[in-house]
Amino acid sequence: MPISIENRLLAYRLTKPLQWPTSRIIAIPRPTSFVGPGAALRLCTMIGQSGATRVMIVTDAVLVKLGLVEPIRRKLAEAGIDVAVHDGITPDPTYPVLTAGHEAVRAHRSDAILAIGGGSVIDAAKVIDAMAVSGKTPQRLVGVMKVGKPMLPLFAIPTTAGTGSEVTVAAVVTDPVKHAKSAVIDPKLVPMATALDPTLMTGMPKPITAATGMDALTHAVEAYTNLWPHKETAWHAIAAVRMIFANLPRACEHPDDLEAREAMAVASFYAGLAFTKAYVGYVHAFSHKIGGMYGVPHGLGNAITLPYVLEFLQDQRWAQQRLADLAVAIGAGSASEAKSVLAARFIERVRELNRTVGIPEKIDALRTDDIAHIAEAAMIEAYRDYPVPKLMTLAQAEGLLRRMAA
Ligand SMILES: [Fe+2]
């Protein structure tokens, strides 16, 4: 007899606390970080000195066309490295896209990989690297700790500030037939080194700056409100939230503002550190399903969903306290005020930030006929994978989605 959805959710809920000790024991490496204007070229100098001889740059065609890749390729070549460029990565990389990347690495006999791009490119490079060393297909790498072998040295230069992929243990891959996203999770996926270089981010259009920045905010807020508190994670999350509120509107309005761009890159890195330990929550669970079904960009889906989920969480004691902390951290109130008032004010500030950077309040693509299916899939992901602070029933999940539909 098939297990009912309610019983599956209950089983996840009951076994969740057992994962807490595991999440603390597993050591997660942290990449060496080069930060500031020119950081990308300094990273190349380091790669040259590290002993790599054949480097594959994994990127996308748009970045090559914009001229962002050539100076980095030249710098590596000047260091005596045999460099090849694979620019076939598309947003939300699918299995065939990853297989083509793996073929390129194999043909070039690369001994290191440098990812230059947004979250999709860095995620793809992680999986291509894992495929190269393990000989496994992307489908077989989906899940936890499936890589099995040490990776080729992997380096990452993010050109957006949001996903935090340059620091995380995860890579999201897309099944092109089922329109479903799944994750490859392994501490081996963390790059050796990264360059947070604001000069590569000044050309990022406003909608992408806004959506990716709100993705970073979502990482920090979900990590901070989740149930498995950790001092260092809390510091990273709060620092990221403060930096994003202070710098995202500036980066959107003044694309050439290197200070704001650098702050956003560092905030996104910190948010990545926070959620790689403390996980994400309901917002990501909904957004993954909505992204897989309708192609809504990840950051945009998160940005729209975030205030709705926080409204649901705000009356739960732990979440309320954490949201109140965040309100105080961004200067939206004083610690002497009632927690419920502070929590509500933080949520209002998130809505305000969305409005300021041009994020809509509803998801146009969301069809009412799909709501029951999305709610069920999202709750399975949330209960199975994330230490969320409050139980959401299927009916509540459906209600939330209905409010989000245009
Ligand atoms: Fe995310």
Beta bridge partners of 60: 88
* Distance from the alpha carbon of residue 9 to the mean position of ligand 1, in angstroms: 23
* Distance from the alpha carbon of residue 102 to the mean position of ligand 1, in angstroms: 25
Cβ neighbours, 10 Å, residue 171:
28
* Distance from the alpha carbon of residue 215 to the mean position of ligand 1, in angstroms: 5
* Distance from the alpha carbon of residue 381 to the mean position of ligand 1, in angstroms: 14
Task: Confirm if 146 and 253 have CB atoms less than 8 A apart.
Answer: no
Write down the mean pLDDT value for the chain.
94
* Distance from the alpha carbon of residue 196 to the mean position of ligand 1, in angstroms: 18
* Distance from the alpha carbon of residue 279 to the mean position of ligand 1, in angstroms: 10
CA distances from 101 to 17, 125, 194, 243, 405 (A): 38, 8, 20, 35, 37
Ligand 1 is a single-atom ion; what residues have CB below 5 A from it?
Answer: 215
Q: Which two tokens stand for residue 83?
A: 């460099």
* Distance from the alpha carbon of residue 42 to the mean position of ligand 1, in angstroms: 28
CA–CA distance, 376 with 371 (Å, rounded to integer): 9
pLDDT score recorded for residue 21: 63
Domains and CATH numbers, the chain: 5-24+203-404 (1.20.1090.10), 31-200 (3.40.50.1970)
* Distance from the alpha carbon of residue 112 to the mean position of ligand 1, in angstroms: 26
What digits encode the pLDDT tens for the residues 287-314?
A: 999 998 898 999 999 999 999 999 999 9
Q: Identify which of 270, 260, 242 has the alpha carbon closest to the alpha carbon of residue 167.
A: 270
* Distance from the alpha carbon of residue 83 to the mean position of ligand 1, in angstroms: 31
pLDDT score recorded for residue 10: 80
* Distance from the alpha carbon of residue 337 to the mean position of ligand 1, in angstroms: 31
Query: What would you measure as the largest C-alpha separation in the chain, in angstroms?
Result: 64
* Distance from the alpha carbon of residue 250 to the mean position of ligand 1, in angstroms: 21
pLDDT score recorded for residue 23: 66
* Distance from the alpha carbon of residue 382 to the mean position of ligand 1, in angstroms: 14
* Distance from the alpha carbon of residue 216 to the mean position of ligand 1, in angstroms: 7
Helices assigned H by DSSP within 314-393:
317-329, 339-356, 371-385
CA–CA distance, 164 with 191 (Å, rounded to integer): 11
* Distance from the alpha carbon of residue 345 to the mean position of ligand 1, in angstroms: 23
Task: Confirm if 342 and 327 have CB atoms less than 8 A apart.
Answer: yes
Residues 6+ apart with CB under 8 A from 121: 58, 59, 60, 63, 89, 115, 159
pLDDT score recorded for residue 22: 67
* Distance from the alpha carbon of residue 81 to the mean position of ligand 1, in angstroms: 34
**Under-70 pLDDT residues of the chain:** 1-2, 18, 20-24
pLDDT score recorded for residue 8: 78
